[in-house]
Chains A and B, each alone.
Chain A
Amino acid sequence: MLSQVRLFLPELYFLFMGLVLFAVSVGRGAPNPRRTYHTAFVLSAIGLIVSLGSLFVEGELFFQAYRVDLFSQIFKVFLSLGMFLVVTICSRLDGVEERYHPEFFLFLTTCTIGMMLLVSSVELITLFVALELSSYSLYILLPLRRGGGERSAEAGVKYFFMGAVASAVMLFGMSYLYGVCHTTHLVDIFKRLPDAVFMPGAIIGLVLTLAGLFFKLAVVPFQSWAPDVYEGGSNQLVAYIASASKVAAMAILIRLTALTGANSAYFMNLLIILSLIGMTFGNLVAIKQRDFKRMLAYSSIAHAGYVLMGILTMSDAGYSSVIYYGLVYLVLNFACFLVIVLVSEKGDNVSIDQFAGLYKRAPLLAATLLLGVFGLAGLPPTGGFTGKFLIFIAVIQKGYLWLAIVAMINVTISLYYYIGVVKAAYLLPPAPDSVDIPVSTPMRFLNYLIIAMIIWLGVYPEIVYDLASLAAKAVL
């Protein structure tokens, strides 16, 4: 019994954290944002430590519907890291009304729980329930933005409707998979699907199931929610959506694509096409964007294309490169949102012009922005380059040299709009009415930490990559 608790420890801890925040939220009395923030900060820090401690446990729970292995645990560490980092930038949660702060943290916690359950699910219905738990938390969080007016309500409604449709489609696909394989456990599906993958029913089932997850990862053509949601949501929430929820989607996509056992050329071609279109579309449309969060949304669509490239190789090298890229992507996105939160006034959206003269107003933030943006572009010596490099190794190993070349061309295209951000921060003089941005000491420390992480992941990938390789072997 105790060993089973050990397996489930991170989830149980975050459940406990959720209950504490729930208690805070129903408490009477004047809202105390400082106390709420400190509670959330301490609890999420402990959560990160708990997840790190549970890194090497293995086992199965709940009638083999729930698998705890290195693959799932490594993603739980990423998710709790993402949660912790987002909480650190919530000290001045201007985007949300004070009385809703506890609810904000509560639903972030439930979303994290949902995603942790998601990465460990090896059974279709568990997967669906976990996905819904995380999705509903986000549906509630989006409209909570203060002063967002129409935009945040629009974002909330769009995300809710499209998410609901995606879930329904996913469930329908799962029913087809059940019909073909007569089981909902992924392990058994893995045994039966490769032989059955030529049946149209199997392909439909697989594609529709994946559609729900492609929606989460913003793979084209399921990406249309991303720009509006990124623009309409409050900055800290979008930081969470951009980093943590994408990572969870990557994890479960790896598990599900591994199901087919690389037998179906049809399926491979489909993934290749989705990857190509995603990369190109995301990069091209991002060029036009003036709002930085919207630009990041389109860049995330392009990154979904790169990640899909790694996933479709269906090899250990491919999976480990995607796991590595998951961490890198988390850190890079967080770096960009960190700068957004510190630059934005009263939690408003930040347009690229507002970065003008950042090198004078806040040189440390300009440096973080530079590294984050160049990391997303994939330039050495940032982690973004190493992540893409590892994906290319997997892709070329499978013989898709041309796909790597197209991806690199896309990287060059993406550089155009990323340089636009750097240009504003470093080249343009500050606007006449702008002021220097004060950066408190904890925030300075956070900036240094993020810069160090980005460069470490770029120059010395050994430790994390070895861990990712071990995790990739445990996928199925």
Chain B
Amino acid sequence: MAEFLEIIRQLPLLSSILFLTVLGLLIIILLPEERPETIKVVSAVISGAILIVCILLYMGYDQGRGGLQFVERSIWVKSLGIYYFNAVDGINLPMLLLTGIVLFTGVLTMWQLEKRVKEYFAFTFLLVLGVFGVFMAFDLFFLFVYYDIALFPMYPLIAIWGSTRKEYGAMKLTLYLLAGSALILPGIVLLFIKSGLWTFDMIALSQAHFSPVVQSIGFLLFLFGFGVLAGLWPFHTWSPVGHVAAPTAVSMIHAGVLMKLGAYGVLRVGGFLCPEGWAQWSELMAVLATVGVVYGAFVGLAQTDLKYVIGYSSVSHMGLVSLGLSTVTVSGVNGAVFQMFAHGIMTALLFSSVGYIYDKTHTKMIPELGGMSRNMPYISGFFILAALAGVGVPCLASFWAELLVFISAVQTYPVRGILAICGLLISALFMLRVVAKTFYGPANPKFAGLPDINIWLASPRAILAGCIVLFGLFPWMMLNLIQVSTVPLIGRVVGY
């Protein structure tokens, strides 16, 4: 086993993830449109391979040693100090793993797609290329390039294959997110210039001592720039609309992974490079996060469309992530990163289940669905499991994440922490009410004869459910990894 791990550690696994994604993209572009089955098989194989690489990365990371591993660094543009720099540490490794899982299960979820299959999978691979790139990049130029590459395929993915108000949702989402990136780019260039190092290498920049003013402005730009994508209140309004409009797997990737990109950006670019700014603006961040948690819960309470419910619940849960980040403590950030992972899986499972139900019943409106657990017990089981995870039931992954966030939030910001816990109670209320109305109660006779999920279509949902339970029962598998990097990160802020 040890030799196997040693071999893995020598391989350029990060570049191979990017390479596999580009390979998948090129193969799909070259395949003819008339062979959708081939395209789907190719997508599944490539995304499965990427997932395996992510798992290998997870196994190969030496938690005892910590720090950056699997480093790949070479000069890209000498005159501007741009480096091709990929690495993993405890914070982005869970994110890479999450993306691999959600991509693979997302591809399997869309197995029954018929419309313009080739373009769908091509845009999907383009999207995940950007997402993987952001998570593994340690060079600001590349991070931003990948960030925008991840953003613009959302427009065609939603506008072509989406449902409710798809063009409005797609345009709103794209413009909002790109407006956020409009704040990030000046921030990046500001850091580039003020460091005096003429480089975009994030490790080098983290050692440059920026003046407090620069850190303050920089963090603010990154907070709001990345925060838009993280669903930071009040810039979250693109999110529920986008969730509802998007097709199933796109919602999975969007809520499961894309919103985590925003939170990751706040932490990695904002917190890592501008620690003093992070400490300075943490109060404001905590206020906005708490409002987001409570607001998302209350608005979710009023929704009648299942996807809107999940969308607002996402806003609320991402508020928890921001709250954890705003505490600037080890356990807060641990909780935030773990919540990013756990919520990602959970929300992917939620959307995946709703997607199947919508495919079969052609409705997402709660009043019309009723007693689904009698008609389709298995898919209902998956949804209910995910809903319970969202509520924070122990033995499921989100429990530990929310626990850590709440403990550190109450310790650092007592009032806001208590308010956030109340928000959680409200969100438990609406989640359980949704479950009761949709899955229990009298069965709607209109849907009596619909087929429940078969074993093949159930497999992605089962994978997601398995992850939720696995990390719920053995949280140390993820938490130890995250802790390895959170401790030095917070140490930087405190020691500043």
Q: Which of B99-122 contact A (CB under 8 A)?
A: 119
Which of A2-10, A46-54, A412-420 has 4 or more CB atoms under 8 Å from chain B?
A: A412-420
Contact A412 B178 (CB under 8 A): yes
- A401 close to chain B: CB less than 8 A: yes
Contact A401 B190 (CB under 8 A): yes
Q: A469 contacts which of B76, B79, B174 (Cβ < 8 Å)? A: B79
- B144 close to chain A: CB less than 8 A: yes
Q: Write out, one digit per residue, whether chain B residues 114-151 have a CB within 8 A of any chain A CB (1) or not (0).
A: 00000100000000000000000000010011101100
- A61 close to chain B: CB less than 8 A: no
Contact A379 B152 (CB under 8 A): yes
- A281 close to chain B: CB less than 8 A: no
Q: Which of B164-188 contact A (CB under 8 A)?
A: 167, 171, 174-175, 178-179, 181-183, 185-186
Contact B77 A427 (CB under 8 A): no
Which A residues are in CB contact (< 8 Å) with B76? 460, 462
Q: Which of A442-476 contact B (CB under 8 A)?
A: 459-462, 465-466, 469
Interface size range on B against A: 20 to 34
Which A residues are in CB contact (< 8 Å) with B178? 379, 411-412, 415
Q: A409 contacts which of B160, B182, B192 (Cβ < 8 Å)? A: B182
Known: A381-B145, A419-B174. A374 touches B152 (CB 8 A): yes
Contact A462 B155 (CB under 8 A): no
Q: Give the shortest distance, in Å, between B210 (CB) and chain A (any CB).
A: 14
Q: Give the shortest distance, in Å, between B264 (CB) and chain A (any CB).
A: 18
Which B residues are in CB contact (< 8 Å) with A416? 171, 175
Q: Give the shortest distance, in Å, between B150 (CB) and chain A (any CB).
A: 10
Closest to B194 in A: A396
Q: Write out, one digit per residue, whether chain A residues 348-388 have a CB within 8 A of any chain B CB (1) or not (0).
A: 00000000000100000000000000100001110001000
Contact A419 B155 (CB under 8 A): yes
- In the bound assembly, the distance between CA atoms of A230 and B160 in angstroms comes to 32
- In the bound assembly, the distance between CA atoms of A385 and B155 in angstroms comes to 18
Contact B182 A411 (CB under 8 A): yes
Contact B179 A427 (CB under 8 A): no
Which A residues are in CB contact (< 8 Å) with B148? 379-380, 385
Contact B193 A466 (CB under 8 A): no
Interface size range on A against B: 20 to 34
Closest to B179 in A: A412
Known: A393-B189, A423-B159. A465 touches B152 (CB 8 A): no
Which B residues are in CB contact (< 8 Å) with A396? 186, 189-190, 193
- A404 close to chain B: CB less than 8 A: yes
Contact A419 B182 (CB under 8 A): no
- In the bound assembly, the distance between CA atoms of A389 and B186 in angstroms comes to 9
- In the bound assembly, the distance between CA atoms of A385 and B185 in angstroms comes to 11
- B5 close to chain A: CB less than 8 A: no
Contact B77 A422 (CB under 8 A): no
Known: A389-B185, A393-B193, A416-B171. A381 touches B80 (CB 8 A): no
Q: Give the shortest distance, in Å, between A376 (CB) and chain B (any CB).
A: 14
- In the bound assembly, the distance between CA atoms of A397 and B190 in angstroms comes to 8
Closest to A379 in B: B148
Q: Give the shortest distance, in Å, between A413 (CB) and chain B (any CB).
A: 9
- B35 close to chain A: CB less than 8 A: no
> Helix, strand, loop or mixed for chain B's interface?
helix
Which B residues are in CB contact (< 8 Å) with A176? none
- In the bound assembly, the distance between CA atoms of A419 and B160 in angstroms comes to 13
- In the bound assembly, the distance between CA atoms of A355 and B189 in angstroms comes to 37
Contact B152 A405 (CB under 8 A): no
Q: Give the shortest distance, in Å, between A371 (CB) and chain B (any CB).
A: 11
Q: A462 contacts which of B78, B152, B159, B181 (Cβ < 8 Å)? A: B78
Contact A408 B183 (CB under 8 A): yes
- B156 close to chain A: CB less than 8 A: yes
- In the bound assembly, the distance between CA atoms of A411 and B184 in angstroms comes to 13
- B457 close to chain A: CB less than 8 A: no
- In the bound assembly, the distance between CA atoms of A415 and B189 in angstroms comes to 21
Q: A412 contacts which of B77, B144, B160, B175 (Cβ < 8 Å)? A: B175
Contact B79 A465 (CB under 8 A): yes
Contact A401 B78 (CB under 8 A): no
Known: A415-B174, A462-B77. A392 touches B182 (CB 8 A): no
- In the bound assembly, the distance between CA atoms of A465 and B190 in angstroms comes to 20
Contact A405 B149 (CB under 8 A): no
- In the bound assembly, the distance between CA atoms of A359 and B156 in angstroms comes to 12
Which B residues are in CB contact (< 8 Å) with A389? 141, 185, 189
Contact A426 B185 (CB under 8 A): no
Which A residues are in CB contact (< 8 Å) with B192? 393
- B393 close to chain A: CB less than 8 A: no
Known: A379-B152, A380-B144, A419-B171. A392 touches B77 (CB 8 A): no
Q: Give the shortest distance, in Å, between A470 (CB) and chain B (any CB).
A: 10
- In the bound assembly, the distance between CA atoms of A439 and B119 in angstroms comes to 21
- In the bound assembly, the distance between CA atoms of A396 and B192 in angstroms comes to 10
- B217 close to chain A: CB less than 8 A: yes
Contact B80 A422 (CB under 8 A): no
Contact B189 A392 (CB under 8 A): yes
Which B residues are in CB contact (< 8 Å) with A374? 152
Known: A380-B149, A461-B77, A465-B77. A427 touches B171 (CB 8 A): no
| 30 cross-chain CB contacts under 8 A | A379-B148, A379-B178, A380-B145, A380-B149, A381-B145, A385-B148, A389-B141, A389-B189, A392-B189, A401-B186, A401-B217, A405-B182, A405-B183, A408-B182, A408-B183, A408-B185, A411-B178, A411-B182, A412-B182, A419-B171, A419-B175, A423-B155, A423-B159, A426-B119, A427-B167, A462-B76, A462-B79, A465-B77, A466-B79, A469-B79
State the 7 A-B residue pairs at the shortest beta-carbon distance, nearest first: A408-B182, A380-B145, A404-B186, A380-B148, A412-B179, A462-B77, A396-B189
B residues neighboring A (CB under 8 Å): 76-80, 119, 141, 144-146, 148-149, 152, 155-156, 159-160, 167, 171, 174-175, 178-179, 181-183, 185-186, 189-190, 192-193, 217
